[in-house]
Amino acid sequence: MMSDAQSSSRVQPVSNLKEFFKDAVHGALESQRLSVEDQTEHYVVNLLTLFSRSEALFERTPEGPRIKPLVLMLSEALEAQSADDRNRNLQRLGDVSLFVAGFFAQSFARKLIDIDYHIAMGGRAYGFLAETLSRGKGRVLGGVFAELSEKFQPMVDALNELAQTAHEHSDKDILRLYEIWMKTGSRRSYALLKRLGVDPTLAGGTQFAH
């Protein structure tokens, strides 16, 4: 399991970027009116800083850099020979799910596996970790994982906000936002649709505001 100290040491080479993410994450959380503990916010900042380096996010394969399929990460966690290995694999699963869902939500429109799958897998991985670390020395980190599990989808919204601040929405984006809202109940997607003149409804499709 990667401690806060270990995580911080791994992101030192990009400390300026870490300061950027610190301000950006805080602003996105405020924009989404999402309240999290300081330790949780700090964890997400460290995660974004770490994964800004491609070698931390992607794994080398004969076909080039790839992100390991989530189901394979879960399988490796379940088949781990030790509790530490299981927790490490679950943490990787949760971290990758959060980052990918937060920063590549639009790209899921062209894939068979959608954003709701990443939200479900990541939330459950963090939930398992929280239960495992609820007592003893890992209690603080367990609290972080518990909050990330409970607020995984709203946190994805906050990261979407961070990633798409300057994005101009096309008609295709509107359809994608509606699809994300339908699948995940994303408050951010709902607010963006309203801002773009679309009134999403669960029954009867969308209504365009006049």
Range of the domain at 181: 168-210
117 and 33 in a common domain? yes
Half-sphere exposure in the Cβ direction for 162 (13 Å, CA): 26
pLDDT mean over 163-169: 64
86 and 28 in a common domain? yes
Three-state secondary structure readout of the chain: CCCHHHHHHHCHHHHHHHHHHHHHHHHHHHHCCCCCCHHHHHHHHHHHHHHCCHHHHCEEECCEEECCCHHHHHHHHHCCCCHHHHHHHHHHHHHHHHHHHHHCCHHHHHCCCCHHHHHHHHHHHHHHHHHHCCCHHHHHHHHHHHHHHHCHHHHHHHHHHHHCCCCCCCHHHHHHHHHHHHHHCCHHHHHHHHHCCEEECCCCCEEECC
Residue 54 has pLDDT above 80, yes or no: yes
pTM of the entire predicted model = 0.76
* Per-residue model confidence (pLDDT) at position 208: 39
34 and 130 in a common domain? yes
35 and 136 in a common domain? yes
Confidence at 165, pLDDT banded by 50, 70, 90: low
CA distance 188 to 34: 11
Q: Which two tokens stand for residue 202?
A: 């669960």
Residue 2 has pLDDT above 60, yes or no: no
Q: Is pLDDT larger for residue 160 or for residue 13?
A: 160
Confidence at 59, pLDDT banded by 50, 70, 90: confident
Instruction: Give the number of other CB atoms < 10 A from CB of residue 75.
Output: 12
When divided into structural domains, the chain yields a total of 2
* Per-residue model confidence (pLDDT) at position 108: 67
42 and 137 in a common domain? yes
* Per-residue model confidence (pLDDT) at position 8: 39
115 and 196 in a common domain? no
39 and 121 in a common domain? yes
Q: Which long-range contacts (CB under 8 A, 24 or more apart) does 33-37 make?
A: 34/151, 34/154, 34/155, 34/157, 34/158, 36/147, 36/151, 36/155, 37/143, 37/144, 37/147
Residue 38 has pLDDT above 50, yes or no: yes
> What pLDDT digit, counting tens, does each position of 72-88 carry?
999 999 999 999 999 99
Q: Which two tokens stand for residue 107?
A: 């790209």
Residue 3 has pLDDT above 60, yes or no: no
pLDDT mean over 26-43: 96
* Per-residue model confidence (pLDDT) at position 109: 58
Specify which of 37-41, 101-105, 158-162, 202-206 reaches the highest per-range mean pLDDT: 37-41
178 and 108 in a common domain? no
132 and 40 in a common domain? yes
162 and 173 in a common domain? no
11 and 111 in a common domain? yes
111 and 142 in a common domain? yes
